[in-house]
C-alpha cells in the first residue's frame, strides 16, 4: 500500500472506529432509520458542496445512474432493513461486530466465486484470515454460547456483510471501467441513498424525533464526516488499492473503538483483547506486504482522474 493510501486508510479507520460515540448521541432522540436518513441527507449535501468546490459535475446517462441506483440499494437501503430486522430478532452486539469485520473475507470469497483471482496472490488472503482470527479473539463470540451463534440475527448479520462486500466490488468495477470517479460515485450514491432510506422511514416507526443540540451534533458529525467526506476517502482507497485491501479497514474499526472506549469511558482492556488487537495488526502487516499483490498494475493504469 502506498504512503498516501496508508494515510487515507488510517483516517478512515480512526473516523469509522469513533462513529459509535457520535451514533450514541444521535440515537438519544432518533430511531435507527431516522438517524440513517438524517446522516445520508447531510452526507449528500456535503458531497454536493464538494462537487461544486472541485468543479465536478454529476455523471450523465441512464446507464450510470442505473448502476448507482443498484449500488445505493446495496450500500444504504438493504443494511438499514437488515438492521431493523436484526434489532427485532435481538442480535448480539458482539456477534454483529464480528460479522461487520468479516467483510474483507466476504470480498475474497466473492472474488473466488467470480473467478477473479488474478493479482490476488496468497499473502493478502492469508493476512485477512489472520486478521479475522484477531477479531474473533477480540470479541470472543464463543462466550455467547452455541444458542446465540445459531440465530436469525447472526444469519442477517452475515447477509449484511456479503452485501457490503458485493457493493465494494461493484464500486471498484465501476471506477475501473471509467464510468465514475470516487467523488461522483460517493455523491451520486449518497443522493440516491437518501431516496432509498426515505422510503424505509416507516420501518422505524413514525414517532416524532426528539431533537436537541446533542442529537443534532451526533447526526451532523456522522453525516458530514463518516458518511460524507470520509466515505469519499474510502472510495478512493477502493479505486487505488483494490476492494480487498481497502475493506481490511474494517479490522481497524474495532481496535479504534476499544481504545477510545478505554480513554473516554474508562473501560478496561483485558489480556485477551490486547492479544486480539495484536493479531489483527499482524494480519494487516501480512496483507499489506508486498502491496503490489493487492491490486493488479493494469487496474491502476485504467483508473480515472483522482477526484
Q: Could you give the CA distance from residue 214 to residue 98 in angstroms, rounded to a whole number? A: 29
Q: What predicted TM-score, i.e. pTM, was given to this entire model?
A: 0.86
Instruction: Give the three cell numbers for residue 68.
Output: 448507482
pLDDT at 99: 75
Which ranges constitute the DSSP H helices of 242-291? 243-247, 252-264, 271-288
Nearest of 190, 143, 162 to residue 44 by alpha carbon: 190
Neighbouring C-beta atoms of residue 272, cutoff 10 Å:
13
Measured between alpha carbons, how far is residue 62 from residues 66, 177, 185, 194, 198 in Å?
Answer: 6, 16, 14, 19, 22
Angle subtended at Cα 72 by Cα 66 and Cα 74, rounded to the nearest 5 degrees: 110
Quickly state the pLDDT bin for 305 (edges 50, 70, 90): very low
CA 304 to the chain's CA centroid:
22
> Any residues with CB less than 8 A from the CB of 33 and at least 6 apart, and which?
80, 84, 197, 200, 201, 203, 204, 205
Measured between alpha carbons, how far is residue 157 from residues 75, 153, 249, 295 in Å?
Answer: 14, 6, 18, 28
Quickly state the pLDDT bin for 150 (edges 50, 70, 90): low
Measured between alpha carbons, how far is residue 237 from residues 89, 207, 208, 219, 256 in Å?
Answer: 34, 38, 38, 24, 19
* 8 Å CB contact between 225 and 16: no
Q: Is the pLDDT of residue 190 over 90?
A: yes
The model's pLDDT over 64-86, given as tens digits with 9 standing for 90+, comes to 999 999 999 988 888 777 766 65
For the purposes of burial, counting CB atoms within 10 Å of the CB of 268, is it exposed (0-12), middle (13-18) or buried (19 or more)? exposed
The model's pLDDT over 101-138, given as tens digits with 9 standing for 90+, comes to 888 998 988 888 877 766 667 788 889 999 999 988 98
Domain ranges of the chain: 3-301
* 8 Å CB contact between 257 and 17: yes
Q: Could you give the CA distance from residue 127 to residue 133 in angstroms, rounded to a whole number? A: 10
* 8 Å CB contact between 90 and 147: no
pLDDT at 142: 73
Percent of the chain, pLDDT > 90?
40
Measured between alpha carbons, how far is residue 8 from residues 12, 23, 131, 176 in Å?
Answer: 6, 22, 19, 20
pLDDT at 66: 95
* 8 Å CB contact between 275 and 130: no
The model's pLDDT over 216-252, given as tens digits with 9 standing for 90+, comes to 999 999 999 999 999 999 999 999 988 988 999 999 9
Amino acid at each position: 500500500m502506498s504512503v498516501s493510501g496508508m494515510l487515507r486508510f488510517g483516517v478512515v479507520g480512526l473516523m469509522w472506529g469513533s462513529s459509535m460515540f457520535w451514533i450514541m448521541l444521535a440515537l438519544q432522540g432518533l430511531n435507527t432509520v431516522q438517524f440513517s436518513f438524517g446522516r445520508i441527507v447531510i452526507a449528500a449535501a456535503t458531497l454536493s458542496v464538494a462537487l461544486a468546490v472541485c468543479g465536478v459535475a454529476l455523471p450523465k446517462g441512464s446507464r450510470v445512474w442505473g448502476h448507482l441506483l443498484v449500488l445505493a440499494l446495496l450500500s444504504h437501503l438493504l443494511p438499514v432493513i437488515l438492521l431493523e430486522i436484526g434489532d427485532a430478532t435481538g442480535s448480539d452486539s458482539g456477534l454483529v461486530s464480528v460479522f461487520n469485520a468479516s467483510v474483507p473475507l466476504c470480498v475474497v470469497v466473492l472474488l473466488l466465486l467470480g473467478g477473479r483471482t488474478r493479482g490476488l496472490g496468497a499473502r493478502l488472503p492469508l493476512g485477512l484470515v489472520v486478521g479475522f482470527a484477531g477479531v474473533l479473539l477480540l470479541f470472543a463470540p464463543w462466550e455467547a454460547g452455541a444458542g446465540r451463534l445459531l440465530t436469525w440475527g447472526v444469519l442477517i448479520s452475515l447477509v449484511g456483510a456479503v452485501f457490503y462486500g458485493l457493493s465494494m466490488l461493484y464500486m471498484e468495477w465501476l471506477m475501473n471501467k471509467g464510468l465514475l470517479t470516487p467523488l461522483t460515485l460517493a455523491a451520486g450514491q449518497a443522493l440516491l441513498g437518501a431516496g432509498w432510506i426515505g422510503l424505509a422511514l416507516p420501518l422505524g416507526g413514525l414517532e416524532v424525533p426528539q431533537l436537541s443540540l446533542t442529537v443534532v451534533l451526533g447526526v451532523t458529525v456522522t453525516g458530514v464526516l463518516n458518511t460524507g467526506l470520509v466515505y469519499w476517502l474510502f472510495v478512493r482507497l477502493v479505486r487505488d488499492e483494490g476492494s480487498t485491501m481497502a475493506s481490511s479497514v474494517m479490522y481497524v474499526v474495532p481496535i479504534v473503538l476499544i481504545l477510545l472506549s478505554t480513554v473516554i469511558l474508562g473501560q478496561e482492556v483485558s489480556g485477551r483483547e490486547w492479544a486480539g488487537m495484536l493479531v489483527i495488526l499482524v494480519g494487516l502487516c501480512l496483507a499489506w506486504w508486498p502491496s503490489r499483490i493487492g491490486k493488479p498494475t493494469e487496474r491502476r493504469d485504467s483508473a480515472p482522474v483522482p477526484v
